[in-house]
Structure 1
Amino acid sequence: MRADRLVSLVLLLRRRGRLTADTLARELEVSTRTVLRDIEALSAAGVPVYAERGRHGGFALLPGFQTALTGLNHDEALALVVAGSRRGAQQFGLGSALASAMLKLVDALPDGLRDTAAGAAQRLLIDPETDLLARRVAADEVSAPIGAEVRRAVFAGHRLRIRYAAVDQAPKWRTVDPIGLVTMREQGYLLATRGGADRTYRLSRILAAEALDEPARRPGTVDLDRAWQERHTRFRNGGDEQITVLVRVDPARREPLVDTALDVRAEESDADGRLRLTLVFQDRRHAEWAVWQHATHAEVLAPQELRTAIRDRAAVIANRYGTSS
């Protein structure tokens, strides 16, 4: 295990340059003291690791250092084969590239390692297309040309012109400064800024894309995880169209209903055992759709306009089925 960790330490320094002992400890999931001992071991073995002191100091490799640290152990090979079974690359238009890469990877493995990794991968299923209730997972699909153009702008740091179809709006052209790409629950998103304001675009709603020659107006580095969390928080806490709904629901339907909401503000039990939930939805249409899925197992208590909308929808359905076909 220590040999694998030493290899990982060198690869981290090669790929990311100077890193502090604390950063290396977090990446390798060991203590800072263990990292310092590993640095000493590498130096003793002739690996040119040096320390830079000061506020921006850390450990680094001498410039130009190269070594053939390309061996994979069984678990690493298995992780790569399993990764190739995931559908996340589809959201970025990389499905065919991933399939081709996995063929090359498997072919390059030694015979014994190839057989054991492929056999073990057959025993693992990651994110199947249907759940136990036979509900199909609806993954976003992004055309290869659009995905390639978006990636080109993101990686090259160029501005991007997209024709975007927002919900309930006619498609419009807009020029954005791309920051990064995120995949979440089978859906892909482009994080960008437009006019200096944060924007998030669903990749499947981009109808056309063109990477421009103009440099993007964005910082040189970005913490995508932090950026996503900040946008997620703003989305849940803001927005003029969000609606708070009081619902009575059968306890057996609590989880499916809560899963469709943005937030749960309050929860209590009624005398008859039903739950009284205060939920936040994206807008009234979102709330109406979510509650409608549960038929008589859920009842909106407030606001009145949502009760009226669901009543009117039910009346239309009842009228249609009240006459013979």
Structure 2
Amino acid sequence: MRADRLVSLVLLLRRHGRLSATALARELEVSTRTVLRDIDALSAAGVPVYAERGRHGGFALLPGFRTELTGLSHDEALALLIAGSRRGAQAFGLGSALASAVLKVVDALPEKDRTTAADAARRLLVDPGTDLLARRLETEEVPDTVVSEIRRAVFAGHRLRIHYAAADREPAWRTVDPIGLVTVRDQGYLLATRSGADRTYRLSRVLAAEELDEPARRPERVDLDLAWQERSTRLRTGGDQVTVLVRVDPARREELVGTALAVLSEEADADDRLRLEVAFQDARHAEWALWQLATDAEALAPQWLRTSLRDRAAAIAACYGEFP
């Protein structure tokens, strides 16, 4: 890990020319004290890095210094293969590997192309942290140590022990046979089997993970896209699923559809609204989704959902009826 960090430090200085210890610490996700130790280690190894004092000072390399350290590690190559989704790389614990790989790719370019590519990159922004209404897009945080252990077991074909906190249940250890990893809307999932039955685990609910020496009981080849579709279909057609008839403002349609399991029917309704029949995972899911849309959506059926939303709104209104 430290060797990779030292390479990244050199490449950062080559790319930017001069950076302060604070800026380097931010880029490398370490403390400034660690950066200073790394600078000392580079100097001791003969890398011509020097410090410039003053307000605009920092660390820099002697002009003309080049490295031959652009070989990609396994994780860096993997990160580039899924780099079509920067958030996907983060969901699988490969965010730092992606950043390191990009530095190596940039450094390998001829100087003219390197400058052109850097200028072009500043004209592109993929997956910003907020939308146009300044609403922050939430990304589930999964500790790197956990997702790295899961990733190793998936690639090695080994069984996996996970300490999993299922919704409304106490966390418990379970042994699974991992099949693959999937990311959907910034949420990461582990597809696995347990005692031969298909299971899907949300990565953010895995509290700890341990790769075992035993080989996983799984087919040699897998079609993850097909496996995900089959599990999605079973989820939509089983359990406590509820169907809701909704009138919705067309401007909020995508928000409604984005939270639903499936759209069963859709047609135009009065007042330029849309009438949709949608499926939700359970009653709580349906109430939560409709509450988010306020008066831009109205549940027409079932009646219990209308009653629940009305009682909830009445409780809120009573709470704010008088100024304390």
Which TM-score applies when normalising by structure 2?
A: 0.71
2:196 aligned partner: 196
Note the residue ranges of structure 2 that are not aligned, 5 or more in a row. 1-69, 71-79
Q: Within 1, Cα distance between the matches of 2:207 and 2:184?
A: 20
User: Which structure 1 residue ranges, 4+ long, deviate > 4 Å from structure 2?
Assistant: none
Q: Secondary structure at the match of 2:107?
A: helix
Instruction: Write the deviation string for residues 171-201 of structure 1: whole angstroms up to 9, x where unpaired.
Output: 1211110011112221111111111111111
Note the residue ranges of structure 1 that are not aligned, 5 or more in a row. 1-69, 71-79
1:114 aligned partner: 114
Q: Within 2, Cα distance between the matches of 1:98 and 1:269?
A: 45
Q: Within 2, Cα distance between the matches of 1:203 and 1:82?
A: 18
Q: Secondary structure at the match of 2:167?
A: coil
2:146 aligned partner: 146
1:210 aligned partner: 210
Instruction: Within 5 Å, give how 1:1-325 maps onto structure 2.
Output: 83=83, 86-236=86-236, 238-325=237-324
Q: Secondary structure at the match of 2:257?
A: helix
Q: Within 2, Cα distance between the matches of 1:180 and 1:259?
A: 24
Q: Is the 8 A contact 1:81 1:118 kept in 2?
A: no
Q: Is the 8 A contact 2:83 2:98 kept in 1?
A: no
Paired letter, 2:240: E
Q: Specify whether residues 135 and 184 from structure 1 end up closer, same or farther in structure 2 by C-alpha distance, changes over 3 A only.
A: same
Q: Specify whether residues 194 and 313 from structure 1 end up closer, same or farther in structure 2 by C-alpha distance, changes over 3 A only.
A: same
Q: Within 1, Cα distance between the matches of 2:257 and 2:151?
A: 34
Q: Within 2, Cα distance between the matches of 1:314 and 1:98?
A: 46
Q: Secondary structure at the match of 1:87?
A: helix
Q: Specify whether residues 271 and 223 from structure 1 end up closer, same or farther in structure 2 by C-alpha distance, changes over 3 A only.
A: closer
Q: CA deviation at 1:299?
A: 1.7
Instruction: Write the deviation string for residues 106-130 of structure 1: whole angstroms up to 9, x where unpaired.
Output: 2222222222222222221111111
Instruction: Write the deviation string for residues 148-174 of structure 1: whole angstroms up to 9, x where unpaired.
Output: 110111111110010111222221211
Q: Within 1, Cα distance between the matches of 2:297 and 2:131?
A: 23
Paired letter, 1:251: P
Paired letter, 2:185: R
Q: CA deviation at 1:311?
A: 1.5
Q: CA deviation at 1:98?
A: 2.0
Q: Within 2, Cα distance between the matches of 1:323 and 1:273?
A: 36
Q: Specify whether residues 82 and 243 from structure 1 end up closer, same or farther in structure 2 by C-alpha distance, changes over 3 A only.
A: closer
Q: CA deviation at 1:214?
A: 1.0
Q: Secondary structure at the match of 1:83?
A: coil
Q: Secondary structure at the match of 1:311?
A: helix
Q: Within 2, Cα distance between the matches of 1:85 and 1:277?
A: 31
Q: Secondary structure at the match of 1:204?
A: helix
Q: Specify whether residues 321 and 148 from structure 1 end up closer, same or farther in structure 2 by C-alpha distance, changes over 3 A only.
A: same
Q: Is the 8 A contact 2:191 2:200 kept in 1?
A: yes
Q: Specify whether residues 82 and 207 from structure 1 end up closer, same or farther in structure 2 by C-alpha distance, changes over 3 A only.
A: closer
Q: Within 2, Cα distance between the matches of 1:84 and 1:251?
A: 30
Q: Secondary structure at the match of 2:86?
A: coil
- Greater shift in the superposed pair: 171-180 or 249-258: 249-258
Q: CA deviation at 1:101?
A: 2.2
Number of equivalent positions: 247
Q: Within 2, Cα distance between the matches of 1:247 and 1:84?
A: 35
Q: CA deviation at 1:276?
A: 2.3
Paired letter, 1:193: T
Paired letter, 2:216: A
Which TM-score applies when normalising by structure 1?
A: 0.70
What is the RMSD of the two structures over their aligned residues, measured on CA atoms? 2.3
Q: Secondary structure at the match of 1:193?
A: strand
Q: Specify whether residues 322 and 168 from structure 1 end up closer, same or farther in structure 2 by C-alpha distance, changes over 3 A only.
A: same
Q: Is the 8 A contact 1:247 1:300 kept in 2?
A: yes
- Greater shift in the superposed pair: 312-321 or 227-236: 227-236
Q: Specify whether residues 220 and 81 from structure 1 end up closer, same or farther in structure 2 by C-alpha distance, changes over 3 A only.
A: closer
Q: Is the 8 A contact 2:82 2:88 kept in 1?
A: no
